[in-house]
Amino acid sequence: MKPTPFDYKVATAWCPGCGNFSILPAVKTALSDLGLKPHQVLICSGIGQAAKLPHYMRCNTFNGLHGRSIPPATGAKLVNPELAVIAESGDGDIYGEGGNHLIHAIRRNIDITVIVHNNQVYGLTKGQASPTSEIGFATKVQTEGVKTAMMTPLTMALSLGAGFLARSFSGDIPHMSLMIREAIKHRGISIIDVLMPCVIFNKLNTFQWYKSRVYKLEENGWDPTDKLAAYEKSMEWGDKIPLGILYRKERPAYEDLVSVLQGKPLIDRDYSPQKVQELFGEFI
């Protein structure tokens, strides 16, 4: 029988009901809809339950350190621009530990797609608050509830010049797949914040909690080129949460601006281990 995007060859480490189960087929269908073959795709992740997604895919993958999905994605894209490069991980990984990498990758505008599995909690390490946890959210560590302000990652990304910003929901696979497809097609960095439940460690932001709040911008005549309107939408949270492409406007990618990156991809150029050894030798 032909495999479907919902098939797994190995047992997953995700809990029954986890939003990750629908993000995976959304990624797979987006890639196949774009006609990409496994060897043309690289997915880099950090550490966390979300970061295990590439374990269940057959393509190039790099599972690195916590917070570090973006640096290897950046390096790989610069040397091998023909690859479709995705950096994906959880909210803790990309907005917390890896927040600095996110900030500067946006400023550089490398042509990669960043998918954040945002369950508003550190799932793998058993339920500590993440940067997107709600104020008042009580955990085993934040016993009195979260006191720190909730991060608004899409607002931050917009202020840094990100040219493609979207939000989706794990309860809607076709929508996630569409967002991922459009994000990959965008030249420059693209960021998708995917809301998803953590059935074990986040009893506040449940599937139902999201489902009853999300609505689609594209069904309301949204203009994704209006930056000021996008600012406002990026901060909308609570009773209503917007999904869709909040903002889309291309500006030159880093790769288009740096002279050494023009012409033949670095990966296809001659490279002399001997010369590198000589350079190292200067320090011995």
Residues making contact with ligand TPP (CB under 6 A): 47-50, 66, 89-93, 97, 117, 119, 121-125, 130, 198
Q: Which residue has its beta carbon closest to ligand TPP? A: 90
Q: Of 199, 58, 220, whose CA–CA distance to 120 is shortest?
A: 199
119 lines the binding site for Mg ion (CB under 5 A): yes
Nearer Cβ to ligand TPP (96/224): 96
Q: How far is the CB of 91 from Mg ion (least distance, A)?
A: 4
In the numeric block, which tokens belong to residue 166?
């979207």
Q: Which residues contact 261 (CB under 8 A, 6 or more apart)?
A: 78, 81, 254, 255
Q: Which residue has its beta carbon closest to Mg ion? A: 90
In the numeric block, which tokens belong to residue 127?
């339920």
How many positions of this chain bind Mg ion (CB under 5 A)? Answer: 5
Which string of x and - marks every residue 78-97 that binds Mg ion (by CB under 5 A)? Answer: ------------xxx-----
What's the count of helices (H) and strands (E) in the chain, helices before strands? 10, 8
Nearer Cβ to Mg ion (125/155): 125
Rounded Cα distance between 211 and 205, Å, is: 10
* 192 contact, one of Mg ion, ligand TPP, none, CB 5-8 Å limit per kind: none
Q: How far is the CB of 49 from ligand TPP (least distance, A)?
A: 4
Q: Of 272, 277, 171, whose CA–CA distance to 214 is shortest?
A: 171
Nearer Cβ to ligand TPP (48/163): 48
98 lines the binding site for Mg ion (CB under 5 A): no
Rounded Cα distance between 233 and 246, Å, is: 7
With vertex at residue 254, the alpha carbon angle to CA 251 and CA 256, rounded to the nearest 5 degrees, is: 80
* 195 contact, one of Mg ion, ligand TPP, none, CB 5-8 Å limit per kind: none
Nearer Cβ to ligand TPP (160/200): 200
DSSP conformation letters of 100-149: HHHHHHHHHT-S-EEEEEE-SSBTTTTSB--TTPPTT---SSSTT---SP
Q: How far is the CB of 170 from Mg ion (least distance, A)?
A: 12
Nearer Cβ to Mg ion (91/193): 91
Q: How far is the CB of 114 from ligand TPP (least distance, A)?
A: 13
Alpha-carbon dihedral 192, 103, 84, 5, rounded to 10 degrees: -30
What are the residues binding Mg ion (CB under 5 A)?
90-92, 119, 123
